Each structure stands twice: as C-alpha cells, then as structure tokens.
Structure 1
Amino acid sequence: MTWLVSGGAGYIGAHVVRAFLADGIDVVVVDDLSSGKAEFVPDGVPFVQANLLDGDAVRGALAGVSGVVHLAGYKYAGVSVERPLHTYTQNVSAMVSLLEAMDAVGVRNLVFSSSAGVYGTPTDEVVTEETAPAPESPYGETKLIGEWLLRDQAAATELHHTSLRYFNVVGSGDPEVYDASPYNLFPIVCNLLSQGKTPQIYGTDHPTPDGTSVKDYVHVADLARAHVAAARALDGGTKLAPVYNLGSGTGTSVRQIMDAARRVTGIDFTPGETPRRPGDPSRVVANGDLATRDLGWQNTHTVDEMFASAWAAWPANR
C-alpha cells in the first residue's frame, strides 16, 4: 500500500506524510516547492518536484500507488481576491489534471484537502456538514469546485473519495516542520515574539465573551491522522461521506491565544489592539462528530500545547 501526497513538502502535507509513515504506509510526494520546503520531506521518501499541471510527471509518480491525498494548491484566501486566475489555475485546473492522470493509470482513491473557506461567514452557531456553503473568496470557491469535481468524476467513474474541510490548523508534530504562512495567527505571533516585537489583536468589539474573534483551532498532528484513517477506509472499500468537518466543536478567542503565548513563552507582553479587519467573522466553530464517528477524529491538544509545539518548532527558537 503506497499513497501519493500532493503538496507533501508543505506544512500540513509534511505532517500527513509523517502520519502515513508512522502507520506503516509508504508515501510518494509531489510538490512544486512554490510554498513547500524540500527539507520537510523525510529522507528516503520518493520526491517528484513538479506541478500537477505537468500530467506526464504526475502519471509517472502515480505508478504503483493505491490512492492520493491531494493537498497541493494556492491556499491564501485573502490574496486570492487579488489573484483569482492564479488561484483557479492552481486549485481547479491542476485538480482536473490530477484526476485525468489518476483515471489514466487506474488510481481510484482520493482524499481531498478542502477548507472551512467553503462556508464563508456562516450564520450557524456551530457549523456542520449540513451548513450551506457560501464561499466569499476565490480560494473558498475553488475548494468547493474541487468537491464538485470529485462528485462528478465519481458519478462517471469508479473514483472513491472524501473531502476534509479544515478549520484553523496550528502547531507542530515534528520540531523540524513549522507553519511559515505570513497570514496565519500562530506563525505571526511566533515571528513577532521571537523578534522582541508585540503582536496585535485586530478587533476587540466582536459579540464574544472577551470581544475578540473566536475560531476553531485544531492541531496539525491530529489533522494528519484523520487523513490516514480516511485513506485506510477508502483502500479497504469503505464508503465514506463526501465531506467531513475537522473541527473541535469548541472555539478559542484571539485573546486566549495571546494568553497562551504569554504562558508558554514566558514573555510578558500586552498585545496591541487595532480595529477589526473587514470581513473577519466573529465566530466560526465546527462540529466534528461525523469525523469522530467515521474516522476516529479527535483534537487531542489544549491551546497551550498547540502553541507550545508551534513555538518549539519556530526556526528562531530551536
């Protein structure tokens, strides 16, 4: 049993690769290194540096593979508004190319990295898989289209699939792998604190207990194990639901994250406060019961543990 992980040199992808290896499953990585890092790929794992639009390279990488975990793509929701064509090319056209290659070589199993971005700003107090999608960025739109592609390809062929809708993925399960995104809260806070600078809170007037926005944070190692469970289920012929939310069911506010950062690092700081940014939702929390039932999904880390793992892996702190 061997699985291909597209985007396996990225922050999440590298953790997925490690989770597969820990479960005794061989892995092949395809990544164009546009945001991934070659050093994140473990020694001994076959690595093909290619974009998914390169059909020949992808077909070659799929030889002997049981299934695909598809994580590769352009993942910056805010910037996708400024670069819609690039976002659609990397997230939709590239996925079409991957599905064509899989069909050509007879690979029938796929686990798709979707996103909470498909929900936009939900009005539900707790988001479930029944919450109506309403994406508000090209990024969210492309993730929803990716789910549609799988649905339609499965209707036409023998493709077996599921899509995992991620919420806010944080932390590190390996001190050599870290989140380098310039847009995510944890790396922003780690970067600023490691430079002796003060993090900012954007918006303290939200209708939440402490006035700051509340989001659903999940540890990347827990998320990675859900991919292994989905892959094993599909490989064994189990029919999975088309989508699963990977959320904890509880929210954590930005101020609570700052408090955790203070406790974990021992750095006594008072975050700055600035007006909220347009479009920032006040609360996005997901129900993960379906993933718990079918995939054994659990978010096993406290907020302090999540931040501590991110802080330990941050390059300036090693």
Structure 2
Amino acid sequence: MSTASSPWLVTGGAGYIGAHVVRALTAAGMPAVVLDDLSSGHAAFVPADVPFVRASVLDAAAVDAVLGEHAVAGVIHVAGFKYAGVSVERPLHTYEQNVTGMITLLEAMQRHGVQRCVFSSSAAVYGAVDVDLVTEETPKSPTSPYGESKLIGEWLLRDQEVAAGLRHTSLRYFNVVGSGDPAVRDTSPHNLFPLVFDALAEGRQPRINGTDYPTPDGTCVRDYIHVADLALAHVAAARRLEAGEPIEPAYNLGSGDGVSVRQIMDAVAEVTGIAVTPELAPRRPGDPPRIVASGALAARDLGWKMRHTLAEMVASAWEARRASGA
C-alpha cells in the first residue's frame, strides 16, 4: 500500500499534457513517475530527475513493475490515443489503446492496492452539443470512437469504484493550448495551433472553415484552455483524492465563454508579427457554431480558473515552438 509521500504515476507523462502534469506535480512537492511508450510523446519532455519507464499501459508486466517498484500513491492516467478524426478510421486501435489500456491499468492497480485515479477524459464525451453552456449534466452523445472510448473509460472507473472501492475523478476538456515550459510544446499534427504555426512557417495561410455561423464574428466559437492551468487541475484532483476529501466523478475544465477562430487568427498575427489573412472556406459538415463548457464545479472543488489570456496562450505556444527550432 502507498503513503501520502509516495509518487504519483503519470501515464503518458512524456506527452504534451502529461509532461505539464509532471512539472505541476513536482512543483507542488509531489513526486512523479512516468510511464509512456513514446508513440506520440518525447523522452526529452520528461525532467531528468523523474523516473521514466518506456512502456505501454497495455503491457501489464511493465505496469505491474512500475506500481510494485515505486509503491505509487495513485495514477494520473493521461496516456491514450487522442485523435478524434483519425479514430473514425481506426476504431479498433482507438478502443485497444483507450479501453483495453484502461482495463489493463485498473487490473494492475487492483493487484497492487492502488486506490486513486485521476483520468484525463475529454469533452468529446458530449458529442456535437446544441446548448450554450456544457455542464457535467449535459447528455453524453459522443460522435467518434475516441469520444466513445473516453466515456467507456469513465464507466470503467465508476464500476471499479463499486467493485473495489476505487476513488477517482475524470477531467473533461476541449482544446488545450499554450505552454508552461518552453521545453514542452504541442507536436500534434491535428491540433489548431500547430497547424496554424506550420502554415505560417511554410509561407501558407491558415484556413477558416465557415464564416457565416450565428456567432459575433461568424466563425465557430470553441473552448480553449492553457495547458498549465489544466495541469494544476490534475494536481488539485490528486491532492483531493490523497486527502480523502469528497470529489465528483467528473469535472468540466471550461472557460465559460470561449473564443472564435477569427479571434485566434488575430491573436496569432499580433503575437508573431506575421500577417495572417486566412483562407475562407465553407463550413465543414457537423461543426456546431459554439461549444463552450462551464468550469463552475471545478472552480468550487479544484481551484480551477482561467489564469491566461488568449494572447498569453498564443505567445507561450509560439515561444515553445521557436525554442524547439521548428
């Protein structure tokens, strides 16, 4: 069994989000251990003084070894296949990574008496919602295997609580941007900020899909949160679990108001000093005009708040990209 001074295992801790969680843990005086197969993460993102095991959560022997060697206090489960669009083309791979991976992890946790889990879930569990503000009670209707796999992950945690007394919470969020450390950046080939920066670096203009939505400037409004704020919420959830305090099964980490695609393009131009005149394209099928989540419940329990402006989100992401030499 673990003690409060034991480390937290961060699966996917070499990835963009996981590496920020590791830094937030250590900054809070909570030791960390990383398990990551580097399928999308980078070993260089893991601080030199943090133990790192290169393995997949599907590797039961490796997970057993980490839990046994480090007597962890709990698990922050960030590892997973995170590309919603690609998941439609690769559903079996998505379910293997996100559902079988969760089962393998939970089985190992039960064997080692590890009773705390913070799950990096997703607002994709809600699907294409038609409400002004998503709350934790908004009906779940995922529209991709990725969203479905995250919802199943939440169900597995719920059922394991009943069966084995697991204490857990799931953090749901939409678009994570920015950087809390110039050494760690978003390298996803599917996310908006890297796509915009790539276009500008190659002398192209980014694209806006749809300019006739019923929003203030006609472009889609989405929820963007800074990765460092997100990481702090994971740490707060871990602390709450360690302290044995009441915790909700899930929290939305949302801005409450959101920003438009046009506002992002304007912020990129201002921060980078590069003229941005986006290509204007028709709407993409299925894109709702606005998806924004309330963070009120997380603010109450996890100290959640938006600590960064849009300009700061863009500037930190741009700084990390330039620091990488990309």
Is this a same-fold pair by TM over 0.5? Answer: yes
* Deviations 1:169-188, CA, capped at 9 Å, x for gaps: 00000001010111111111
Query: Residue in 2 aligned with 1:33?
Result: 38
| Deviation, structure 1 residue 209 | 1.2
Q: 1:229 aligns with which of 214, 236, 239?
A: 236
Q: Distance in 2 between matches of 1:190 and 1:201?
A: 14
Instruction: Identify which of 132, 135, 138 aligns with 1:128.
Output: 135
Provide TM-score, normalisation by structure 1: 0.98
Is 1:197 the counterpart of 2:208? The answer is no
Query: In structure 2, what is the equivalent of residue 10 of structure 1?
Result: 15
SS at match of 1:161: strand
For the 8 Å contact 1:65–1:107, the answer to whether it is kept is: yes
1:139 and 1:279 map into 2 onto residues whose CA distance is: 16
Q: Which residue of structure 2 lines up, in the alignment, with residue 314 of structure 1?
A: 321
CA contact (8 A) 1:117 1:140 kept: yes
CA contact (8 A) 2:168 2:241 kept: yes
Note the alpha carbon deviations across 1:251-304, whole angstroms, 9 max, x for none.
100000000001101112211111122222210000000000000001111111
After superposition, give the CA deviation of every residue in 1:20-71 in whole Å (9 maximum; x if it has no partner): 0100111000001110111100111111111111111101111310000001
CA drift of 1:317 comes to 6.8
Separation (CA, whole Å) in 1 of partners of 2:51 and 2:275: 44
Structure-2 separation of matches of 1:28 and 1:317: 24
Question: Does structure 2 conserve the Cα–Cα contact (< 8 Å) formed by 1:200 and 1:273?
Answer: yes
Aligned to 1:61: 66
Q: For 1:62, what is the secondary structure of its paired residue? A: helix
Task: Return 5+ residue gaps in structure 1 as ranges.
Answer: none
Shift of the alpha carbon at 1:124? 1.3
Asked if residue 288 in structure 1 is aligned to residue 285 in structure 2, the reply is no
Q: 1:160 maps to what in 2?
A: 167
State yes or no: 1:43 paired with 2:52.
Answer: no
What is the CA–CA distance in structure 2 between the aligned matches of 1:308 and 1:254, rounded to whole Å? 16
1:209 and 1:49 map into 2 onto residues whose CA distance is 47
Check if 1:240 corresponds to 2:252: no
1: CA distance, partners of 2:167 / 2:242: 9
Give the superposition deviation at 1:115: 0.2
Q: How many Å separate the matches in 2 of 1:73 and 1:103?
A: 20
Deviation at 1:315, TM superposition (A): 4.4
Question: 1:196 Cα shift?
Answer: 2.5
Question: In terms of mean alpha carbon deviation, does 100-109 or 278-287 score higher?
Answer: 278-287
> Where does 1:42-191 land on structure 2 (aligned, <5 Å)?
42-63=47-68, 64-191=71-198
Contact persistence 1:3–1:27 (CA under 8 A): yes
Query: Aligned partner of 2:56: which letter?
Result: N
- Report the CA distance between 1:80 and its aligned residue: 0.2
* RMSD between superposed Cα atoms in Å: 1.0
Q: Is 2:255 the counterpart of 1:255?
A: no
What is the Cα deviation at residue 316 of structure 1? Answer: 6.9
Q: Which amino acid aligns with 2:62?
A: A
Secondary structure in 2 matching 1:306: helix
Partners of 1:153 and 1:233 in 2: how far apart? 19
Residue by residue over 1:81-109, the C-alpha shift from the partner in whole angstroms, topping out at 9 and shown as x without a partner, is 00000000000001000000000001000
Going from structure 1 to structure 2, the CA distance change for 1:37 and 1:66 (only over 3 Å counts) comes to: same
Q: TM-score, structure 2 length as denominator?
A: 0.96
1:111-170, CA deviations, whole angstroms, 9 ceiling, x for partnerless residues? 000001001011111000010111000000000000000000000112100000011100
CA contact (8 A) 1:194 1:317 kept: no
- Contact 1:113–1:165 under 8 Å retained in 2: yes
d(CA) in 1 for partners of 2:105, 2:275: 48
Supply the distance in 1 between the matched residues of 2:191 and 2:323 (Cα, whole angstroms). Answer: 17
State the 1:205 CA deviation: 1.6
Partner-residue secondary structure (3-state), 1:281: coil
Whole-angstrom distance in 2 between the partners of 1:52 and 1:136: 25
Q: Distance in 2 between matches of 1:92 and 1:11?
A: 21
Shift, 1:195, TM fit: 2.5
Contact between 1:168 and 1:217, CA under 8 Å: does it hold in 2? yes
2:301 counterpart SS class: helix
